[in-house]
Amino acid sequence: MKSPRTAMVLAAGLGTRMAPLTLTTPKPLIKVAGKPLLDWGLDALRAADVERAIVNVHYLADQIEQHVAGYRLPSIIVSDERAELLDSAGGIVNALDQIGNEPFYVINADTFWIDRARSNLVLLAEGWDDDRMDILLMVANKNQATGYDGRGDFHMDKQGRLSRLRGGETSPYIYAGAAIIHPRIFAGAAPGKASLNLYFDAAIAADRLYGLQMDGLWLTVGTPAAIGEAEAAIAAHKVHG
């Protein structure tokens, strides 16, 4: 598949774990290596030839609106959630009229990675199979990540099929905050708050949730302490990459 031309950028979260930095600045505008987190994501979308990015806003929304006003590629459409924070899936459902009927990228506004040889978003598009998939997640192995100490997010089989961890299970695979989703999964969805995890589970039940392991390094910047670790990784990559 050619790379999707449209993306949804989830930028409406409160960023509570990033306090006190987020008391006055929304998390997507926190800088890492001199560049706002949001810009790392938008630059990755531009490198994948994305033409339009829908950015949802809620917390300190004016700052994000002002920041993206100067973007030309991708062009930015702001999806206003000031009245109510709709969560990941609810934000997408709220913007479906702008997204259209074709598969689209979804990235978290704090999603942040270093490509190696090629754009990971392009690799994700090349891995998309419309006959088998409703959702394709970019996943990272724990040894490709900084700032992560969790138990993993999914099991992944040799075909890329994903399943949930159960009980005390662990996995090396982490959802790396970028995906391709077909909008058909939201058919008939009611407006309001909803999590993408519900749609992940539905896709698992239908045998249509897949993952593709990224090539490069995923930088997890969830707390102020993680910024330095990410910046060190960026510096090392520039020296050795």
Instruction: Confirm whether 76 is domain-assigned.
Output: yes
Instruction: Note the pTM of the prediction, 2 decimals.
Output: 0.95
Full domain range(s) for residue 199? 6-240
pLDDT digits (tens, 9 = 90+) for 48-94: 999 999 999 999 999 999 999 988 899 999 999 999 999 999 999 99
Q: Which residues contact 165 (CB under 8 A, 6 or more apart)?
A: 151, 152, 153, 154, 155, 171
Residue linked to tokens 């959630």? 81
Instruction: Confirm whether 198 is domain-assigned.
Output: yes
In this structure, the number of other CB atoms found within 10 A of the CB of residue 16 comes to: 9
**Which CATH number do you get for residue 213?**
3.90.550.10
Instruction: Confirm whether 115 is domain-assigned.
Output: yes
Number of domains in the chain: 1
Q: What is the mean pLDDT of the chain?
A: 94
pLDDT per residue, tens digit, the chain (241 aa), is 889 999 999 999 999 999 999 999 999 999 999 999 999 999 999 999 999 999 999 999 999 999 999 888 999 999 999 999 999 999 999 999 999 999 999 999 987 899 998 999 999 999 999 999 999 999 999 999 987 888 999 999 999 999 999 999 999 999 999 999 999 999 999 999 999 999 999 999 999 999 999 999 999 898 999 999 999 999 988 744 3
Per-residue confidence (pLDDT) for residue 148, from 0 to 100: 84
Instruction: Confirm whether 1 is domain-assigned.
Output: no
CA distances from 18 to 13, 14, 21, 195 (A): 11, 9, 6, 21
